[in-house]
Amino acid sequence: MADQMLKDRQDVPIWNAIDAGNFKQALKLVDKRLAKKRTDYFEALKIYIRSRSPLLAEKQAVLLHLDELAEKKKAIAELETVELYDEAFGEVLPEPQESWDKIIGELRWLCVKSQPKNEDLSLKCFQACLRKGDLEHAKQISEKYPEKQRKLWGSLAFAQIGKLATATKQATLTRSRQDPKKLPIRSLQTPQELLLLHRVTEALGKPEQRLEFLNDPTLGPESAVAKGEWQLWRFKLNLLENAAKWQELYETTKSLLKRARTKDQSGQLSESGLSDWIVWEAFIRSAVELRNHEPKDAVIAEVEAHLDPACEIDKSWKRNASLALVKITFVSSSPFQAQPHDRIPVIIKYLQKYGNASTAYNDLRPFVEQLNVEDRKQLLELILKDAIFEETKEDKDIKTTNRITQLINTYKLRYLLTSSLPEYQIRAGAAYKSSRNGSNGQYSTSSLRQLAQDAAKSYLAAVHGGRAAWNLLPTDTHPADDLCLLSAMCLFKLALASTEDSEPLSGAKASYVLQATALLEYALTHSQPNFQMSLLLIRLYYYLGCGSMAMHAYKRLGLKQIQLDTLSYTLFDRISTFHPHPFSHFVSDSSPYRTPIESLQKQQKMYRNSRDQISKNIWLSYKHGSYNSIFEIKEVLDTLSRTLSAAMSVVESRKISGLIPSKTESGASDGGFDILPPNLEASESPFSDTNDYATFPNFECTQGPRFEELCRFVPASSDYRTRINLAAEKLAQLLQPIPEDKGGKAASHSALQSFLASPPEKFPKSSGDLLTQPEELTRQSYDAMALIIQDVCDRERWADQKFSEQLESHNKELCESLEEQRSLVENIKAPVPALACTLHALYTGYEAGKTASKFSVYLSSKAKDIPGSQSQSQGEANQKIAAAAQRLLQTVAEKCVAIKKGLDEGGLIDKVLDSVLQGPDGTDADVSVLCELRDSLDESHLELWAGDVVESWRDSVVGLSWLKV
Amino acid sequence: MTSLRPFHATDVFKFNPTNLDPLTETYDLNFYFSYIARWPHLFNVAEGRDGTIDAYIMGKLESSPPYQQFSPHYLPYHAHITALTVSPFARRLGLARTLSSSLERSGDSYDAWFVDLFVRKSNRIAQRLYEGMGYSVYRRVVDYYSDDLADPGKSGEDAYDMRKPLRRDGKREHVRERGEEFEVAPEDVW
Ligand SMILES: CC(C)(COP(=O)(O)OP(=O)(O)OC[C@H]1O[C@@H](n2cnc3c(N)ncnc32)[C@H](O)[C@@H]1OP(=O)(O)O)[C@@H](O)C(=O)NCCC(=O)NCCS
């Protein structure tokens, strides 16, 4: 200490005196220095010297002085000075928890606060506070450095848990080997504690250290403490791979795989789980990296040992071995100079063996994608000639699960090769002579159409005669379902490749969508529990503007609890511009989900209940020593407090209740803002996206977008849109007059003040495709409105030189975007039946118009306060805004009338049926894939369904009656 | 491919492929998290490509509470399969068998007497799975389930309580023949 404090040479005699215990002399010297120049340092040094005095009176005086110092709350800038006081304090009161916090902790905190940029200082003070157990000041200090905070706390945690790890190590070395019961109390004793050790070490970014722990026999995956915790092996393989320790990885995985197939003393394969796919992957990776023949041979030998009929390991593990053979063949092609033509035989072999397992396609997909064009062509030819499953060729009966699964796997491969791999069509081979490019320039529409047709045909043949032939439980899906999904997906892609027509029902796009819908609805009569079909149907009905049918498909999912967070988006994202009103068709009056608001409220209730459930279990984990679980559960808590879906439920509820007054006032109008942290739209950390996109069926190639992404008709939920929506709600709230009983003018004034204090962020136009066109125009209007309010209501801005120029340009922008929105609505060419895009444009346009109209009322009183001529010109601008808003609302209303009238005309059911069975009028006759299959379709079912679709359109337009001027 | 890993709390955001199946119930978060809190090592997932959840098993290890000590329905220390579910796209691959044998091994290593579970009487597929692994019906719990998925008209369905003795029960004291005929009420089971 003394060494550190040597300010300069002149101080040496003082410290010599102190060290010699000659405090009188030391004091004299300090006083001399102080007489020359009073500095904080010498003041402190004096107190320090006095603290060393054996006299009680001196010690009391020191304490008093220190107390006063902290009371004054004056920041001392130099750390040395603060540390002298700390030393002095320690001399006077060696074990004084509380007063240390109050005096020295406070001095340290004041010191840090006075120099916010000095990180070194803060680190030292932080550590000092922690050492003394002054968590309050430690926390304050660490909060000043959020980016450093984790590191600081992490170091502490690491220090603590590292000590425990060492204790475990030493105890095991010195005591009887590996008996966890004999470990000292302060040591790591459970798998959860080991996981915590890794969590802490990982947080500090110390992979080497983690590997060291894992390699230690007392702390690693084989230690007695680990109790076989598999996660530790996962960590170890991963770390070895990241560290490129190939030889070690190779030896480790090789021995794990051998152990997996070796019986224990009781004749059991008790370690079969070591044949996990991640072990195989690591084995192959290391073998390839080692680049010589022996490792590759070892992989093949291990595969053979696993596949030996005498090896009794479960089939799930054997399949890994077979797949490992495919993998080694593919990855070793270049380093081992294997002939590329190995690749097709190995794929065929795998297919022959596992083609009857539903996983075969998923397993092979990443490899098939790597085939070169020639190989792809060869594989495709084999598939088209049905030459893969030789043994079963005679077996024409597809009504066995095995056979149908084989068929499905080959169809999926065909889809991959012809309609999902993007490069294919560039180099179309012999098998596709008839192919021609689709209008989207991506896939050959004729091969899509052919595939849609073939798959549908095989599907219809398989389900012909009902489920009875298949020996299924009522809760089982039908084994042929994927054929139907595949066909529907091809139709979906065809729809996306077609352009919209001037009359929806005469265009190819709607025809494809309707065909896919009809096919899936029919399939559901054979396979009610198939949720992937329901998911696709929600999307298709959304496109068609059939709200109640979409709701019907949604209800079939039977979502509960957390699923309300992960899957609500499928129907409820943008529900306020799709079907904000009660469902009166297909959903019974007594159903608790008759109105969208009820569903959204149910979702919000789940969030409220969850908080408590989660916190309760953080405590329970702690109680049971499940330390790792604490972090995991906490992660859910943090994630769930800010999901896109939660924000969606608030935004949509608010928009709906702004449009349709709810009969039961029970909190519906506030939209459930309480489930979100305040001012979330302005917070720095992004919203968490917990929406489940992965449960949609997906047979696409792995490098490209998933099917869920391909089949979006509108941009998905995004952080950007969510923030815009929340900010827009803030503005809408401000414009809402506050009734006298809720605070009236005063409340309105304070709302304005807080709006001005933290005005909504200005959202620049996004570069990506994140908003629909009507949403983009509305964003522009809201942006302009927020800026105008700030100009008009914030007096400080009035003096700005550019004030009037800016205000004028905002006024102009607002009028322009309203006008553009009006023309967008007016130009809806094909409004009957109203597809989702039409409904969306109308509701969105209405919302923008209505808000602008309220805005002009709000502003008319405020603008009067602006001094000079600007007040009058803003008054005029305001009138223009009001008029533009009015025109927009008028246009929306007119379109609504036209749509309703159009739907009243008859013949729609026939048009739907024609569109499905014949394709668009007269034009391209081969648009209808189902046309040729009509004999296999249940036509009466089809007619009933067409009736429902039309009924659903009628139900959808009921909501338009709320869009009044 | 087959790959197992421990269930992570955030998997509740990803378990729809298994939980949208009608035979798999989705409970509130308290349910899942209390298992993660108490028996994290008995809650495991089979992962598909891209980390999708193909299957999971939730288990626990416990005995009946002490006050039941003298009840005829008292259960000694045993492993219990609370949930076992495989997504419809990953069935018949052996995942259920692999996951339940891993629970049996844990039961053995914690010296439990047996593994047990409840299964709907109509769920022949699951029964076949368990029978194939050496489980047998120990008793029938009348109207254990409040609905009948096969027949919406009915208001309840029986459960079979199935058991497999573990190493500790070398004498097979905790299993019985023709357990289907041994009826108990839902309040008798714990
Ligand atoms: C029951 C269930 C878990 C089986 O999962 P799985 O992974 O498909 O089963 P496995 O592949 O491990 O099958 C093991 C054995 O069970 C039997 N089995 C499984 N599915 C069967 C079926 N559809 N028909 C006949 N036997 C079947 C077979 O004997 C099979 O062995 P084999 O394939 O070597 O002939 C799965 O169907 C499921 O998730 N069902 C819904 C949820 C449920 O019922 N859970 C059980 C609650 S207790």
pLDDT digits (tens, 9 = 90+) for A313-330: 999 999 999 999 999 999
pLDDT of B116 reads: 98
Instruction: Give the per-residue pLDDT at A340.
Output: 57
Assign A153 a pLDDT band (cuts: 50, 70, 90). low
d(C-alpha A219, C-alpha A477), whole Å: 46
Evaluate if residue A394 carries a pLDDT over 60: no
What are A964's two structure tokens?
């009044």
Task: State the nearest Cα–Cα gap between A446 and chain B, in angstroms.
Answer: 29
As to burial, measured by CB atoms within 10 angstroms (0-12 exposed, 13-18 middle, 19+ buried), residue A742 is exposed
Mean pLDDT score, A863-877: 83
Any atom of ligand 1 within 6 Å of the Cβ of B23: yes
Sign of CA dihedral A694, A698, A704, A708: negative
Q: List the single best residue of A632, A634, A701, A703 to mutate versus B (max B Cβ within 10 A).
A: A632
Separation between Cα atoms, residue A724 and residue A325, nearest integer Å: 51
Give the separation between CA A301 and CA A298, rounded to whole angstroms.
5
Q: What residues in B contact A702, CB-CB < 8 Å?
A: 49-50
CA distance, residue B22 to nearest chain A CA (Å): 6
Strand order of the β-sheet with B4-6 is B4-6, B43-47, B53-62, B78-86, B114-120, B157-165, B136-145, B183-184
Closest by CA to A682, choosing from A732, A722, A646, is: A722
Strands B114-120 and B136-145: unpaired
Q: Which residue of B has its CA nearest to A611?
A: B29
Compute the distance between CA of residue A297 and CA of residue A281 in angstroms, rounded to an integer: 15
Report the 10 Å Cβ neighbour count for A394.
7
Q: What is the dihedral of CA A215, A220, A223, A229, to 10 degrees?
A: -150
Burial of A283: CB neighbours in 10 Å, binned 0-12, 13-18, 19+ = buried
Please check the confidence at residue A857 and state whether its pLDDT lies above 60: yes
State which of B19, B24, B45, B86 you would mutate to test the pocket of ligand 1, scoring each by most atoms of that ligand within 8 A of its C-beta. B86
Contacts of B133 in chain A (CB under 8 A): none
Q: Which atom of ligand 1 sits closest to the CA of residue B99?
A: 12
Could you tell me if A484 and A526 are in contact, meaning their C-beta atoms sit under 8 angstroms apart? no
How many angstroms separate the CA atoms of A655 and A580, rounded?
Answer: 9
Residue A546 has pLDDT above 70, yes or no: yes
Pairwise CB contact (< 8 Å): B37 & A629: yes
The whole-number mean pLDDT for each consecutive block of 10 residues of chain B, a chain of 190 residues, reads 97 98 96 97 94 96 88 94 97 96 94 97 96 97 89 88 97 96 91
Paired sense of beta strands B78-86 and B53-62, if any: antiparallel
The count of residues in chain B is 190
How many CB atoms lie under 10 A from the CB of residue A862?
16
The rounded Å distance from CA B178 to ligand 1 centre is: 22
Chain A with chain B: Cβ pairs closer than 8 A = 176
| Yes or no, beta carbons of A273 and B102 under 8 Å apart | yes
Does residue B113 contact residue B138 with C-beta atoms inside 8 Å?
A: no
What whole-number distance in Å separates Cα of residue A178 and Cα of residue A163? 18
Q: Which tokens is A430 given?
A: 């012999």
Higher pLDDT, A936 or B176: B176
What pLDDT score does A921 carry? 62
The residue that leads in pLDDT, A335 or A686, is A686
Share of residues in chain A with pLDDT > 90 (%): 61
Close Cβ partners of A36 (under 8 Å, ≥ 6 residues apart) = none
Report ipTM (2 d.p.).
0.96
**Residues B43 and A576 sit within 8 Å (Cβ to Cβ):** no
Chain A residues closer than 8 Å to B10 by CB = 632, 635-636, 639
The answer, yes or no, to whether any atom of ligand 1 lies below 6 A from the CB of B124, is no
Judging by beta carbons within 10 Å of its beta carbon (0-12, 13-18, 19+), is residue B41 exposed, middle or buried? buried
Confidence at residue A668, expressed as pLDDT on a 0 to 100 scale: 47
Dihedral (Cα; B127, B128, B134, B139), 10-degree rounding: 30
Half-sphere CA count of A962, side-chain side, radius 13 A: 27
Asked whether A731 and A782 are in contact (CB, 8 A), the reply is yes
Q: What is the DSSP string of A159-213?
A: HHHHHHHHHHHHHHHHSSTT-GGGS-SSS--SHHHHHHHHHHHHHTT-HHHHHHH
Q: Residue A124 pLDDT more than 90?
A: no
Interface test with A, best of B7, B23, B29 (most A CBs within 10 A): B29
Nearest chain A alpha carbon to B36: A629
Model pLDDT for residues A652-684, shown as the tens digit of each residue: 999 999 999 876 655 445 788 889 988 888 888
Residue among A362, A555, A565, A631 with most chain B CBs within 10 A, to mutate: A362
Alpha carbons A614 and A630: distance in angstroms, whole number: 10
Q: Give the structural domain span for B152.
A: 3-188
Residue type, A829: K
pLDDT exceeds 70 at position A386 = yes
The CATH number assigned to the domain holding B43 equals 3.40.630.30
Cis amide prior to A833 (ω within 30 degrees): yes
Q: pLDDT value at position A335?
A: 43
Identity of the residue in A357, A623, A636 whose CB atom sits nearest the CB atom of B93? A357
Q: Does B63 contact ligand 1 (Cβ within 6 A)? A: no
The pairing of beta strand B4-6 with beta strand B136-145? unpaired
For residue A952, CA distances in Å to A563, A728, A909, B50 come to: 26, 31, 12, 38
* Chain A contact set for B91 (CB, 8 A): 358
CB atoms within 10 A of CB A600: 27
* B141 Cβ below 6 A of ligand 1: no
CA of A676 to the centre of ligand 1 (A): 42
Taking residues A897-925, report their average pLDDT. Answer: 85
Q: What pLDDT shows up at residue A965?
A: 87
Q: Do A314 and B149 touch (CB under 8 A)?
A: no
Confidence of residue A551 (pLDDT cuts 50, 70, 90): very high
Give pLDDT tens digits for A455-465. Answer: 999 999 999 98
Contact indicator for A269, A313 with CB cutoff of 8 Å: yes
Condensed to tens digits (0 to 9), the pLDDT of residues A38-66 reads: 899 999 999 999 999 888 888 889 989 99
Rounded-to-integer distance, Cα A927 and Cα A915, Å: 9
Amino acid at A502: S
Kindly report the number of other CB atoms within 10 A of residue A427's CB atom. Answer: 12
Distances (CA, A) of A689 to A63, A561, A641, A646, B14: 55, 17, 11, 10, 12
Provide the pLDDT confidence category of residue A2 given band limits of 50, 70 and 90.
Answer: very low
For residues A497 and A884, give the distance between their C-alpha atoms in angstroms, rounded to a whole number: 36
Task: From the CA of B132, give the closest atom in ligand 1.
Answer: 29
pLDDT band at A294 (very low <50, low <70, confident <90, very high): confident
Give the separation between CA B147 and CA B150, rounded to whole angstroms: 9
The answer to whether A444 touches A432, Cβ cutoff 8 Å, is yes
Number of domains in chain B: 1
d(CA B187, CA B142): 10
For A771-802, the pLDDT digits (tens) are 999 999 999 999 999 999 999 998 888 888 88
Q: B40 and A628 in contact by Cβ < 8 A? A: yes
**Among chain B residues, CA nearest to A354:** B93
Shortest-distance Cα residue to atom 15 of ligand 1: B129
8 Å CB contact of A633 and B33: yes
Cα separation, A613 vs A611, whole angstroms? 5
* Contact residues on chain A for B102, CB-CB shorter than 8 A: 273
CB A505 within 8 A of CB A492: no
C-alpha span between B85 and B25 (Å, rounded) = 10
> What average pLDDT score do residues A510-532 get?
96
- Mean pLDDT confidence for A711-736: 94
% chain A with pLDDT above 70: 91
Does position A441 have pLDDT exceeding 90, yes or no? no
CA B92–ligand 1 middle distance (angstroms): 6
